[in-house]
Structure 1
Amino acid sequence: MATAHPARNIMVLYTGGTIGMQASANGLAPASGFEQRMREQLAGRADIPHWQFREMQPLIDSANMTPEYWQRLRAAVIEAVDAQGCDAVLILHGTDTLAYSAAAMSFQLLGLQAPVLFTGSMLPAGVADSDAWENLVGALLALAQGVAAGVQLYFHGELLEPNRTAKVRSFGRHPFVTLKRFGGAANVQPLPSELDYRQPKQTATVAVLPLVPGFGAALLQAALDSGAQGLILECFGSGTGPADNTDFLDALAQAQARGVVVLAITQCHEGGVELGVYEAGSRLRQAGVLSGGGMTREAAFGKLQLLLGAGLPMADIRRLIELDLCGELR
């Protein structure tokens, strides 16, 4: 990690989310005007560094987050740091997909020499027992004290790694946890120039399929026929699946032949994938499935978005999947 320096000029990017929502006829909805509310809340505080505010368009409930929006967010961060001279960025984001966005941006911003924090709240600012201001102020104070370059989450006084974090609760002040996942992969040195944050990226179509007992080839084939460029298989245990199903294995082999990247991760909260432990995992490897090691679903999705969208040769994509880029396989 790079040396942490106290932030003096922070860009706040507001994407919407619960933190600034207002009541509507159909329930809580994203609302404009949060900058003024924030200025009133922080008025007179000498411990908060200079900050400026940008309202992203459109403001969204984070359930509506997309890889296309991530590209707009990436561009906004680059503009703030490289063009406007900001030395830190705080992204206000809804909690439902916050872990996905933080993981994705950790890949999209590889090489950025500034800290980027994600935060949000479980209850809107201004309602009883809301966690909004404590998370927002806490994140600003953390940046003021100094946070290392790279992407992290800030929630309820904690800095959390983007590639190990998942939302596990839909209530309370502690919705996010750091999962105990298997690591040990070699780090990529040097980073391919195509992956640098300044290089343009495309969005990719990535499907996710959780395996269940009796899972057959038809659902797998449907996902492959959908035009997906990448497929994340959420496997059992250390990376096993229905290896006695020849149609399933044939579909996986066809995916590799068609240039679809198939990545295995574990459904378990702890541990990771080791495809050679069981025959049921070895046969997946023989069919062209790559090991996601200890990657979370969020990290795997973000990593495939980066690698498939960077214009790399397929051989490089398949090699880099199983190497550590920014802590996802550490």
Structure 2
Amino acid sequence: MRRVKNLFVLYTGGTIGMLQTAEGLAPAGGFEARMREQLQGQGETRLNWTFAELQPLLDSANMTQANWLAMRDAIVHAVELGGHDGVLVLHGTDTLAYSAAALSFLLLGLKVPVLLTGSMQPMGAPGSDAPSNLLGSLTALERGVEPGVWLFFNGELMHGARVTKLRSDAFDAFAVLPRERQGERAESLPAELSYRQPRQPVNLVVLPLFPGLRAEHLRALLGTGVQALLLECFGSGTGPSDNEDLLAALREAHARGVVLAAISQCPQGHVAFDVYAAGSRLRDAGLVSGGGMTREAALGKLFSLIGSGLPPSEVERLFALDLCGERVDAR
């Protein structure tokens, strides 16, 4: 764990840098000057930083896979060519946890800390949490943060592949939920997963199970060229085990090479297929367990694995292993 001395700050937009317009709050450029002005008198930091704005600036509700790849490119460039030993990403809160998870897997092996933060209120608004989140992030980096992707919010430093957004109107909006974390760590990572390797956009979909889901719904979704389906199951990984047509649709998709993954839709749940027969039938249809991973982590992991060009069987194998602390607690 090394103290950061040469920081790269990447501003992507989000509430933290928004200004009022006729249509409401919207991302605005020129944030570095406002950031320095607001931090004066808030505390001291001796960090030197280089500032860059991702173009176009985003309301994070508009986040796409292409934006994740652009962030990855900017970060790798700053570290590999710019000599920066730490990165701070300023990001909107709507999809902050998704981006933290995606970057956790896009930047595997990067030997510097990447810390994301944002705010629930714009910089300069009365009582805004922006100055404290910014200063807290800078202070954490100056003191030293382990390599990997992290999220700092409301005084808490959280693992990027474990965090989720719980609240839409409170400063303590993010948390790491006590989901069961178990599994084997990957002994080594294939070269395709190195942070140096670019990725490609992929066709992923997330579907929560619900009473009344029909096989024709599932087939229509899978018929759009989906490369992976993340199924949010009931409880410990169960689903409608008496719906033979729906199970057949899953088996057919798996036979075509679609990666089928399962997580629990319970906020503090985890998948354990063998507890109930209803879970075992999903496993037998081709689903691979995400254990206690969050939706954000599972989606980001599938994006990175499939986007690297790995075959479906290897994606399934690596999805079931711990790559950066998303499945087990200790690293």
TM-score of the pair, normalised by structure 2: 0.97
8 Å CA contact 2:205, 2:226 repeated in 1: yes
CA distance in 2, matches of 1:159, 1:283: 39
Match of 1:212 in 2: 210
8 Å CA contact 2:229, 2:260 repeated in 1: yes
Match of 2:322 in 1: 324
C-alpha distance after superposition, 1:141-162 (max 9, x if no partner) = 1100000000000001110112
1:314 aligns with 2:312: yes
State the secondary structure of the residue aligned to 1:159.
strand
- In the TM superposition, residue 48 of structure 1 has moved relative to its aligned partner by 3.1
- In the TM superposition, residue 205 of structure 1 has moved relative to its aligned partner by 1.1
- In the TM superposition, residue 43 of structure 1 has moved relative to its aligned partner by 4.8
Aligned partner (choices 227, 249, 252) of residue 251 of structure 1: 249
C-alpha distance after superposition, 1:240-285 (max 9, x if no partner) = 0011001100000011011111111001111300111111010011
State the secondary structure of the residue aligned to 1:37.
helix
State the secondary structure of the residue aligned to 2:184.
coil
8 Å CA contact 2:264, 2:292 repeated in 1: yes
- In the TM superposition, residue 52 of structure 1 has moved relative to its aligned partner by 1.2
CA distance in 1, matches of 2:181, 2:127: 38
Q: Give structure 1 stretches of 5+ with no counterpart.
A: none
CA distance in 2, matches of 1:142, 1:54: 20
Q: Give structure 2 stretches of 5+ with no counterpart.
A: none
Match of 1:76 in 2: 74
1:27 aligns with 2:19: no
8 Å CA contact 2:39, 2:131 repeated in 1: no
CA distance in 2, matches of 1:32, 1:122: 18
CA distance in 2, matches of 1:293, 1:303: 13
Aligned partner (choices 4, 14, 18) of residue 7 of structure 1: 4
Aligned-residue Cα RMSD (Å) equals 1.1
Cα distance change of structure 1 residues 43 and 127 upon mapping to structure 2, 3 Å threshold? closer
State the secondary structure of the residue aligned to 1:134.
helix
8 Å CA contact 2:45, 2:138 repeated in 1: no
Match of 1:285 in 2: 283
8 Å CA contact 2:260, 2:286 repeated in 1: yes
State the secondary structure of the residue aligned to 2:275.
coil
8 Å CA contact 1:48, 1:141 repeated in 2: no
Range with greater deviation from structure 2 (82-91 or 313-322): 313-322
Across the two proteins, how many residue pairs are aligned to each other? 327
State the secondary structure of the residue aligned to 1:231.
strand
- In the TM superposition, residue 168 of structure 1 has moved relative to its aligned partner by 0.8
8 Å CA contact 1:209, 1:231 repeated in 2: yes
- In the TM superposition, residue 46 of structure 1 has moved relative to its aligned partner by 5.0
CA distance in 2, matches of 1:97, 1:280: 32
State the secondary structure of the residue aligned to 1:76.
helix
Q: Letter of the 1:37 partner, please give it.
A: R
Match of 2:47 in 1: 49
Match of 1:90 in 2: 88
Range with greater deviation from structure 2 (7-16 or 311-320): 311-320
Aligned partner (choices 55, 58, 69) of residue 56 of structure 2: 58
- In the TM superposition, residue 13 of structure 1 has moved relative to its aligned partner by 0.2
Match of 1:189 in 2: 187
CA distance in 1, matches of 2:248, 2:323: 31
| Structure 1 runs, 4 residues or longer, greater than 6 Å off | none
- In the TM superposition, residue 79 of structure 1 has moved relative to its aligned partner by 0.8
- The percent identity for this pair of structures is 57
Q: Letter of the 2:75 partner, please give it.
A: V
- In the TM superposition, residue 327 of structure 1 has moved relative to its aligned partner by 1.2
TM-score of the pair, normalised by structure 1: 0.97
Match of 1:146 in 2: 144
CA distance in 2, matches of 1:88, 1:273: 35
C-alpha distance after superposition, 1:159-202 (max 9, x if no partner) = 01122211010011100111111221100011111100001211
CA distance in 2, matches of 1:168, 1:48: 33
State the secondary structure of the residue aligned to 1:14.
strand
CA distance in 1, matches of 2:34, 2:271: 46
8 Å CA contact 2:10, 2:51 repeated in 1: yes
Q: Letter of the 1:256 partner, please give it.
A: H
CA distance in 1, matches of 2:39, 2:77: 25
